[in-house]
Structure 1
Amino acid sequence: MTLALLFPGQGIQHPDMLPWLDRHPLAAPVLARMADHVGHDWRARLGDEDWLSRNSVAQCLVTGVSLAAWSILCPLLPRPAVLAGYSVGELAAYSAAGVMDAGKALDLAACRAGAMDRCAAGRPAGLMAVSGLNAGVIDSMCECFGLAMAIRIGPDRCVLGGLSASLDAALPALAAHGAEVTRLRVRIASHTPWMTAAAAEIAARIAPMDWNNSQSIVANNVDGTGRRDAAGLKAALASQMASTVQWDRCMDTLAERQPRCVLEVGPGSSLSRMWQARYPGIPARAVDAFQSAQGAASWVRRYLT
C-alpha cells in the first residue's frame, strides 16, 4: 500500500501546465502566494519564453504549481511513504512531507533563486542534458571544457553545468562522440561549484528557521539518503545547490521502499519517464497527464487497493 511522490525542478514549466488548478478552491491559497512572487498575470504570461525561463520566475512557478496540485491531491490520497524532489523540487517535497507549509516553501524558492542569480551575475551559464556516453568519457569532457556534473541520472545519462561559452564549445565534441545533447532552459550552472556562495547564503538563512521533522522519508539530492530529521534536511537542501544531484540514488532510495506506484506532482512528465526507464516494473504517471486531480487519484488508488 506504499505510495511514492516525485516533485519536478525548473525547466519543465510550459504554457499548458495543469489548467485545472485555476478552478479548484483548495489550490487558490497556494496560487495566490505564488502570484505574489511572479505576478498575478502569470497564467497569461506562460507563452513568453523569455519570462518563463527566468530563474526568479521558474523556481517559484514550479514550486507553486506543484504544491497547488498537492493541496488538491492530499485529501484524496494516503500519506506517501517516501518522496523526492528534483533540484528546486526538493522544496515542494519538504512541504508535502510536512517540514514547512507551502507559503514558506514558496518564499524559500524566491530566496534560493535570488541567491543563485546574485552568484551568477555577470557570468552567463547554463545546463546541458547529455545521454549515450559512459562516465569515463563524460569525466574527460568535463575536464577538457571546464564543465561540472550537475545531475547524475543514470550510467549514461546526466546534466552538465558550466559557463555558456564552455557549454557551446563542448556541445559539438560531445555530439561527435555519439551523445545526444540538449541545452536546457536554465540560465545558471545549478548544482556546480559556481553556486558555492549561493549555497552558503541559503544555509545561513535557513539555519534559524523552525522546521518540523518530516512525516515521510525524503530522499535528498545531495547523496540520495532518506532523511526525516529537520537538521539533516536543512544541511542537505543547502548543500545540493553547489553539489551534484544524485538523482539515480534518489530513485534507488524510493525503490527500496517498494512503492506500489509513483506519482509525479507538478508540471511536465520528465521524472516519471526517468523512473520508468530505471524501474519499468513499478508504474509511474505524472499529474500533468490527467485532466483533473480526481483522475490522478483514481489511477493511484488502482494500485493501492
Structure 2
Amino acid sequence: MKVAFLYPGQGTQRPGMLHDLPRHPAVAETLAEAERVLPGSSRQDGAEALESSVTVQVALCIAGVAATRALAREGATPDVVAGHSAGAFPAAVTSGVLTFAEALTAVRRRGELMRAAYPSGYGMAAVLGLSVAQVRRVVEEVTTGTDPAYVAVIDSDQQVVVAGGVRALERLAAAAAEAGARRVRVLDIAVPSHCPLLAGVADAMADHLAAVPRRHLDVPYLSDSTGRLLHDAGAVLDDLACGVATTVRWRDVNAVLGELGTTLFVQTPPGHVLARFAHAAHPDARVVALAGTSLSDAAFLTRRARRPSQERGPVIGGSPP
C-alpha cells in the first residue's frame, strides 16, 4: 500500500473551513448533497456555529468527503484510509462502508448524544513533552472517584490527550508541569471523548448503525482504536460505534501505515495536525495537507505514488507547517 488518506477529528476545526474548500465541481456537488440531507449544514462553519460539537462533527464529515471526491475526480484515490476520532466517518465513506448521507446523520447523532451526556463540567487536554507512561502516572495521581481522568488519545510518543472532569484536568495541568511537561493545552472539546464515560453513547451509536447495510469495502480501513486494518463492513461499523468510548491510538496508526509501505500521506481539510504526526513518524515519506497544498498538486502526487515504478523524492514544500 502506497497512499494513505487521513481524516482529522475534533479540535482541528476553524472558522471558514467549508468556505475554504477547493473550488471544484465535486466539492460544490458535495455541499449541495449535504444541504439536501441536513439543511443548513454546508454553511455552518462560523466561529459561533463551531462552538457546538454537533456542528463541528458534521462540518468535518463534509470537508473530508468533499476533498476526497474532488481528488477522485482528478484520478487520485487512496490505498488505505484512517480517520482520527470523528474523522473515522468520512474515512468510512471513502472505504465504501457508509454513504455520505448515512455518515452525516450518524455524526449528527453522535454529536447530539455526546452533548446530552455531558453538557458541562468536562473536557480534554493535550499533554506535550511527557511519555505515555509518564502521562498515565500523572492521570492516576489526579483521578478521584468522583472526578476522574483518563488517557483518551495517544497521538505520538510525546503527545497524549487526557479526558475527564474540569477539576481533574486542572490538577493534571499542575501535576504534568511538575513532571516536566513542555505544555498542557486545553482543547476546544467540551466532552470527555474516548474514555469509559461515553460507554452509553457508544451503545446508542451501535443501535443507530445497526440498520446500515453491510457493503463490500472499496478501500481498506485502518482503525484508530485498535491500529488494525479492517476489511469487513460489520467490523468497521462496530469500530465507528465503539470508537467514541475507546482510546485513540494514532501513534499505532502511523506505525502500521509505515509497516504497510505507505510512501504518501494525504490529510484532508481542515488543518495540518495529522500531516505533522505523519511527517514526524516517517520523515522520508511525502506528506501533504490539502489545507496548504493545491488540489492539483495533491492529485498529481497521489497518481504518481500509485505507479509502482515511480521514483520517490523529498516532501513537496518541505515539512508540514
TM-score by length of 1: 0.91
Alpha-carbon separation, structure 1, partners of 2:236 and 2:217? 9
**Structure 1 residue 281: deviation in Å?**
1.6
In structure 2, the CA distance between the partners of 1:257 and 1:77, relative to structure 1 (3 Å rule), is: farther
Match of 1:54, as an amino acid?
S
Residues 120-166 of structure 1: CA deviation (Å, up to 9, x unaligned) = 13x42111111211233211211122210111122232111011221
Q: How does 1:47-86 map to 2 (within 5 A)?
A: 48=47, 50-86=48-84
**Structure 1 residue 285: deviation in Å?**
1.1
Partner of 1:6: 6
Flag the structure with more relative contact order, 1 or 2, with Cα contacts below 8 A and sequence separation at least 6.
1
The answer to whether the Cα contact below 8 Å between 1:34 and 1:60 also exists between their aligned partners in 2 is no
1:144 matched to 2:141? The reply is yes
In structure 2, the CA distance between the partners of 1:41 and 1:18, relative to structure 1 (3 Å rule), is: closer
Q: 1:125 aligns with which of 119, 122, 144?
A: 122
The answer to whether the Cα contact below 8 Å between 1:151 and 1:160 also exists between their aligned partners in 2 is yes
In structure 2, the CA distance between the partners of 1:22 and 1:225, relative to structure 1 (3 Å rule), is: closer
Percent identity between the aligned chains?
27
**Structure 1 residue 41: deviation in Å?**
7.4
Q: 1:274 aligns with which of 262, 272, 277?
A: 277
1:167 matched to 2:169? The reply is yes
Alpha-carbon separation, structure 2, partners of 1:41 and 1:275? 29
Partner of 1:194: 197
The answer to whether the Cα contact below 8 Å between 1:264 and 1:287 also exists between their aligned partners in 2 is yes
Q: How does 1:99-118 map to 2 (within 5 A)?
A: 99-118=97-116
Q: 1:183 aligns with which of 186, 207, 213?
A: 186
What is the alpha-carbon root mean square deviation over aligned residues?
Answer: 2.0
Alpha-carbon separation, structure 2, partners of 1:154 and 1:20? 29
Alpha-carbon separation, structure 2, partners of 1:38 and 1:60? 12
Name structure 2 gaps, 5 residues minimum. 144-148, 311-321
Q: How does 1:248-267 map to 2 (within 5 A)?
A: 248-267=251-270
Alpha-carbon separation, structure 1, partners of 2:5 and 2:42? 29
Partner of 1:154: 156
Alpha-carbon separation, structure 2, partners of 1:157 and 1:228? 29
Alpha-carbon separation, structure 2, partners of 1:235 and 1:22? 32
Q: How does 1:88-99 map to 2 (within 5 A)?
A: 88-99=86-97
Match of 1:138, as an amino acid?
V
Q: Secondary structure, in 3 states, of the residue corresponding to 1:288?
A: coil
Residues 8-66 of structure 1: CA deviation (Å, up to 9, x unaligned) = 101111124364537432122322344464736736x52x2x43131011100111111
1:211 matched to 2:214? The reply is yes
1:295 matched to 2:297? The reply is yes
Name structure 1 gaps, 5 residues minimum. none
1:24 matched to 2:24? The reply is yes
Alpha-carbon separation, structure 1, partners of 2:38 and 2:51? 15
Match of 2:141, as an amino acid?
C
Match of 2:127, as an amino acid?
V
The answer to whether the Cα contact below 8 Å between 2:266 and 2:287 also exists between their aligned partners in 1 is yes
